[in-house]
Amino acid sequence: MRSGFGQEILGMAKTICALMMVAVLSACAAKNTLPPVGLQSSGLESPLYRIGAGDSLSIFVWRNEDLASSAQVRPDGRITLPLIDDLEAAGKTPTELARDIEEALSVFVQDPLVTVMVTGFVGTFEQQVRVVGAATNPSAIPYRANMTLLDVMIAVGGLSEFAAGNRATLVRWVDGEQKEYRVRLDSLLKGGDIGANTMVLPGDIIIIPETFL
């Protein structure tokens, strides 16, 4: 009697495990896949860099060295400069910010010519690539031109000990719709499969689950 009951429990456990595996495989199959780097890079165009909170800036005013300064963009997205208080900086390109500074300085300086250089990069949330889950150092990384999945994983120190890298997901907004793509991080990082490398875009989120065991 007990032996039959034990076999029944064992059979149920096997059935549950089989159903879980089918669900995982189905979920993976339902996700889109991204082309490898060689087939994708030619069609991508890097967006202009936009200043974000935490960025460090150097501002030069031609023929007005006393107005040159360095500034860090505050959490509220603004900067304070000589003669200028609380100027909005976040979300603008360096050129757009330079024109705004020129307009603000024109009250005090005749025909100011301003150059803005970003010396420390954080970027806006829309221009970061975020890695969450079972990475060694999950974090948000400033996007740079032609960044690949391998570049991102190097930046976060690779996978953690219990990462299920081949079940990782890349989440991306495409035409206003959130889409999920399967990425094979174990194949890329441990197996050396360069075909598993793909381009990333600003705003991408890489989610790395842990193994079941």
| Cβ contact 66:177 at 8 Å | no
Contacts of 109 (CB under 8 A, 6+ apart): 61, 64, 67
Write the pLDDT tens digit of every residue in 84-110. Answer: 999 999 999 999 999 999 999 999 999
In the DSSP assignment, the letter for residue 134 is S
The rounded distance, in Å, linking the Cα atoms of 115 and 101 is: 9
pLDDT of residue 56: 97
Specify the pLDDT at position 48.
86
Is pLDDT above 70 for 8? no
pLDDT tens per residue across span 156-200: 999 999 999 999 999 999 988 999 999 999 999 999 999 999 999
Arithmetic mean of pLDDT, 103-126? 94
Neighbouring C-beta atoms of residue 27, cutoff 10 Å: 13
Taking the CA atoms of the chain, what radius of gyration do you get in angstroms?
25
pLDDT of residue 33: 84
pLDDT on residue 14: 52
When pLDDT is cut at 50, 70 and 90, the band that residue 212 belongs to is confident
Q: Could you report the per-residue pLDDT of 13-65, keeping only the tens digit for each?
A: 555 444 445 444 444 444 688 888 876 554 456 778 999 999 999 999 999 99
Q: Is 100 exposed, middle or buried (0-12, 13-18, 19+ CB in 10 A)?
A: middle
Query: Under CATH, to which class is 56-120 assigned?
Result: alpha beta
* Residue where the block lists tokens 């081949």: 166
pLDDT for 137 beyond 70: yes
* Mean of pLDDT values over 118-129: 91
Give the H or E element holding residue 72.
strand 69-72
| Angstrom distance (rounded) from CA 210 to CA 161 | 9
| Architecture of the domain whose range is 34-46+125-208 | Roll (3.10)
Rounded Cα gap, residues 139 and 205, in angstroms:
10
Residues in Cβ contact with 76 at an 8 Å cutoff, skipping those fewer than 6 apart: 53
